[in-house]
Every structure is written in structure tokens, then in C-alpha cells.
Amino acid sequence: MKGGDTVVLHLKHPDPALTASLAIFNSAIMPQKLFEAAPGASEEDKAKAFAEHPIGSGPFVLEKWEHGTEMVLKRNPNYWQMGEDGKPLPYLDEIHFQIIPDDATRILKLQAGEVDAAEFIPYARVNELKGDPNLNMELFPSTKVTYLTLNIRPKLKDGTENPLSDERVRQALNYAVDKKAFIKLVTFDVGSPMHSYMSSSTPLFYSQPAYDLDLEKAKALLKEAGRDGGFEVTAMALAGSADDSATLSTIQQMWSQVGVKLNIQQADNATMVSHYNDGDYQIQTGYWTDDIIDPSEITSYFAYFPTTESQHSGYNDPTIQELYTKSQQEPDKAKRTDMYKQIQEIYVKAAPIVFLYESPLAVALRKPVKDFVQIPLGNNVFLRAHLEP
């Protein structure tokens, strides 16, 4: 492409999610010649090589990337946009992203002034950090949902029978969670109950009762499933995550009231991802934030089997598969809304996850940091961010 060229897309069918998809961060303009010059025999190889040293048209350029440790971005001197003050954007010369998995360490570095901002602040620390005179504790609106992913396959990887393959058991586990108490204990009233697998701010969200607390119903379902004698399940949690620990220890107590013993297994992120992708787990903590302002993406992961085998849970409902395929080609908003309503109703009944809560994005900033924004999709915007004396 050259300057002034027009791009025409020829589609096999209408795509109602096209404009939302084109607005996503990974649909950015890339230099074709440099992409083609990247090493590799195939386009896939070239894409991997290019991604290690990307060149784009945004306000910052990649200076250094040490995987799992640090990423350094520098100001793009050729960026086109001007600020309201008439000065060229961005204002920052450099941004250093440090990967600090442990919550306590990350917050200590922030309080000591070793970093200027910290994401993923545990909700247990929000009120404390609000009272720190050196910090601004921000709760940005989001599409974030927190849940437990359930492996619903009949047998686990080690060959043992999996009680979570029974829909009645999964429903019982959901009925045994007191969401109001859970949100108070874990999010300190920052969150709100989930009513679908998608957040209430996702387009075409359908609000429905997603398992209010009912211990008697939970016990009856377990008895019906032949599990009233009690059983054990194991959940993997991210080591060093205060939110994960609080989530599972609270669930552990709640499920014990219906005779279910929850074992908690700590693991690092790489181990959790590996087991998750291989379907080698029983329960995992999880959260999601949308990448696009359309329900097709999150639905493709949570409920459409071919994408990731329904979020690596093994969940596969034929009606959902048909509805989702049709929704990807349906330009009529009313018809599409009804399709997603049906998908969400079927999904909630099947309960391949434990529905927990929606929550804002918790970011703590040192006082000199101004005009940093984290959008509801979870992306950080540093375009106008700057430091004041």
C-alpha cells in the first residue's frame, strides 16, 4: 500500500463484528516491506520474527524486550498527533514495563518510588492505598469478569472419573456460592455479581439469574447426581496472587457446607497456562476482559467449541455452535440479539464455569503521574500521560 491507496474488503457474507474487529489493537497498520523482509520461510514465521521487533505507527516504539522481565518503549519522534497545549504527543520519553508477578513486591516498589504505577492491585489493598498520600488509587470501568473454569470432561488426564462432567454437580457448585458475601470478602464491595459469561458492559449482554445462593437446591442437585456423600476437587491458583488466594479460600469454605472439599494447588503462571491449554486440570481461576466491543470474541472462547474447545473446558453444545455460526453472519441487530440471548441462557444452565463477579481495573499511580488511562478493554493509554513535579 502507498499513501492515498484505498483498501476494499470482499467478504463471503455480512460480518456484523467487522468494524469492531478492525478497531482492535492487533489490527494496527504495519510496514509491508519490513514485514516481508523479516526472517522466515512462511508468513507465520515472518509474523513471529516481526513480533519480536515490531514497527508500527503509534506514539511509542519498542526499544527493548526481555521476555518475562521487562519491556522498554521510547517516544516515537515521528508521531503525528498534537496535544491540546500545541505540543507534540506523546509527552513521555520512555516507558519501562517491569513484570513483577508478586502482588506484595509490586506494591512495595510502588510505595518506595521504584515504579510510578502498578496494575492488578489486589482488592484487599485498595482502601489502604486510597489512604496513601503519595498515591492515587484508580478504579477504571472495565469488561473484566472473574470466574472459575471447570474441566467438564468425563475423565481427567490421569484417567480418574471427573464429577464435574455432570451438569447437576456444576449447577450445585454455583448454587453453593454466596456471591454477595463473596464480593464483600474478596473484592471489598468493589465488584458486582456475574449474570452471564460476559460482562454487563459487553454489547448484547443478557441479564438473568446466574445462581443466587441456595444451599438446599445445591444439596438436592448433588443427591440427584449421586454425590451427596461428598467428594473432592482440586483447583489451581496463581502463586503470589492475593486475589486468587482469597477467591479459592472463600470458595473452599462455602463448598464445604454442601460436602465438597476443595484442594488448592499453587502454581506459577507458565505451569497454569500449560495445564490449562492441555486440559490437564480440574478447576482453574480465571478472568477475562474484552478486546473488542462485540460479544462475538468472548463467545467464541467461552462457548464456541472449535476456537479453543470452549475455553479448554471441553464444553460443546450443538445448539450454541449453530447459533454462534449464524450470529457471525446476521446483520439484523434484533435477530442477533435474540441469538445471543439464547446462547447465554443455554450456557448459564450448563454452568461450565462458576460465575463469580465483575470488577473494575485497579491501578495505583504515584501522585506525579497524570492523564494515564486504562480503557474498559484493559489497554493502557499513555498518549497524554506525563509526570508533574
At 376-388, the pLDDT tens digits run: 888 899 999 999 9
- Whether 28 has a pLDDT exceeding 90, the answer reads no
Domain ranges of the chain: 28-141+362-387, 142-360
- From the list 129, 149, 153, 151, the residue with the least C-alpha distance to 139 is 129
CATH number among 2.60.40.350, 3.40.605.10, 3.40.50.2300, 3.10.105.10, domain 142-360: 3.10.105.10
pLDDT at site 254: 97
pLDDT for 160 equals: 95
Given a cut of 70, whether residue 221 has pLDDT beyond it is yes
Q: What is the pLDDT of residue 4?
A: 56
**Mean pLDDT, all residues of the chain:** 93
pTM: predicted TM-score of the whole model, two decimal places: 0.81
Predicted confidence (pLDDT) per residue in 251-274, tens digit: 999 999 999 999 999 999 999 999
Assign 243 a pLDDT band (cuts: 50, 70, 90).
confident
Q: Where residue 196 falls among pLDDT bands split at 50, 70, 90?
A: very high
pLDDT at site 10 = 85
Q: Give 67's contacts (C-beta < 8 A, 6+ positions apart).
A: none
What's residue 30's pLDDT? 77
| Per-residue model confidence (pLDDT) at position 5 | 67
- Quick check: bond before 59 cis, omega within 30? no
Contacts of 42 (CB under 8 A, 6+ apart): none
Tell me the mean pLDDT in the region 101-107. 94
Classify domain 28-141+362-387 at the CATH superfamily level. Periplasmic binding protein-like II (3.40.190.10)
Phi, psi of 312 (to 5 degrees): 60, 20
Residue 58: pLDDT over 80:
yes
- CA Rg, the chain, in Å? 23
* Non-local CB neighbours of 180 within 8 Å, separated by 6+ positions: 193, 213
| Type of residue numbered 153 | R
E-strand spans in the chain?
60-66, 70-75, 94-98, 117-118, 135-150, 192-193, 231-238, 260-267, 283-288, 353-366, 369-370, 373-374, 380-381, 386-387
**Do 283 and 234 meet the contact criterion of CB atoms below 8 Å apart?**
yes
Mean pLDDT to the nearest integer, 119-141 = 94
pLDDT > 70? residue 113: yes
Asked if the model's pLDDT at residue 115 lies above 90, the reply is: yes
pLDDT of residue 1: 46
